Structure 1
Amino acid sequence: MDEKPDIYRRELVDVQGVPLFWSIAEEWSQVESFEARPDDLLISTYPKSGTTWVSEILDLIYNNGDAEKCKRDAIYKRVPFMELIIPGFENGIELLKKMQPPRLVKTHLPVQLLPSSFWKNNCKMVYVARNAKDVAVSYYYFYQMAKIHPEAGTWEEFLDKFMTGKVAFGSWYDHVKGWWEKRNDYRIFYLFYEDMKEDPKHEIQKLLQFLEKDLSEETVDKILYHSSFNVMKQNPSTNYTTVPDFDMNHSVSPFMRKGISGDWKNQFTVAQYERFEKDYEKKMKGSTLRFRSEI
């Protein structure tokens, strides 16, 4: 199918100081008035931080490790992306309205833009954070393959946009810090991508504790297997290959690219690394939040 220039590669639109896709901005009142339910589980991340991975783990937990049940539909329909509105497609809010409880809800919104119903209902939330350099690299390739984004430009140009928060969903720095600061006031489980890579079983057990769910060792091992990168990369219900080419061009870059920690070293020049680190130190000054750039 031909690209639709009226939908794709359009500039981002500012919503309360955060750059978002134009289609979300146009329907912002729908997002703002979203009705969360008390038994909703929110999965919140900055883009390219392990969202699909953790969504699949949580769907497997909710289905007691039954991988066949988790193949009932694509991940973006099982765990709808709440604020994503693209003309011609069923949006996240519509999908969520039809879902039976308990619902798994995905968002990339920074903490200050989250619909107030989530706070009012004291919903449980899982926030996944990944180190900035790996996110920047992964986001650069995602910008190129997912055409709802504006043009990525060169890596150097994209890195500048990332560092200044001029990318979809705004500043990584504000996003991770905003959710970190809220974690003690609400039921937020703050999870690090690098910890998940290093010891997924341990992190899944911590998740189970947070969710007050008790699963056997055998079920946890099943969840580990079915949520591993290689299995998910081959699974059409998790690898986004069911999304039409005119939306996501997998020949440019697969949705599930590498799934490793420390890949930034293959992309950053020494000069870019030094500039990034200096800027990072300024932006993260005063925060107790600590990341590992490799494991």
Structure 2
Amino acid sequence: MKNEPGSVTPDVAAHAKALTRVLGQSEHVKLLVEECADELSSVNLALKEEVAGQHQLSGIEEALEKTEAIEGKVLEAADKLSVVNQALEVEVEARHVLEERLAELTQEEEAARHAAFHDALTGLPNRALFDNRLAHALAQARRRGWSLAVMFMDLDDFKKINDVHGHDVGDAVLKTVAARLQESTRADDTVCRHGGDEFLYLLVASGEVGDVTHVAEKIARAIAAPCRLGIGEFRIRPSIGISIFPKDGATAFELIKRADAAMYEAKRNRSGHAFAR
């Protein structure tokens, strides 16, 4: 079950109050020590005057009595400081434990967030994250008059790999393809695993046919590079369908649907990629 950061708030408040209480005790001890220092200064002055012969011997005796009283206060202050230090050590250790727990909760939250928006096998963004970024890109494109492209990719003859060599090899191929897609993705673009051997690619702020064709061909070359797995070296090629906003659709659903249809045309023609019509 996912832990919520807010669940540790009472502990944080309790420790903050405890530290405030300890700091108040420390301030009290500080005032006590300062009082002792002032009184010792007064006694020292009196003793100096006695040594200079300005007072009778009784003055020295009185000073000594004050010194003994001050010594008791200093001892009391030392005892209280010891108690304060022990309390501070406990609070510091408790705060250290709390900080470690907060760090663990932060890591757990980050892991849960990553799992919610990324594909477990390939580590690529999943469809939920892709849809979110596509919606954001469409909003920007409408506002600024930009165009963008959506690519729908499918791996040719991938089913044969699973049927002949098994799903472990198929998974290894998908991981290899995902890594190559990540290496080929521009900083502002998004590639996701749609499901099975299908991938989606969002090309933002560009809808020129030449630019999109260049990116599609770059992706195709990267995926088609030789794969070296336990079964030997082989190549796998993608079929890519492309739709462009706003020409081919005004919504995410329309753009993905048109790109999907174009992908099947590219697969039928074995042309590598095809634009929506």
TM-score interval (norm. to shorter): under 0.3
More helix by share: 2
Structure with max Cα Rg: 2
Q: Which has the higher contact order (CA 8 A, sep 6+)?
A: 1
Normalising by structure 1, report the TM-score: 0.21
Normalising by structure 2, report the TM-score: 0.22
More strand by share: 2
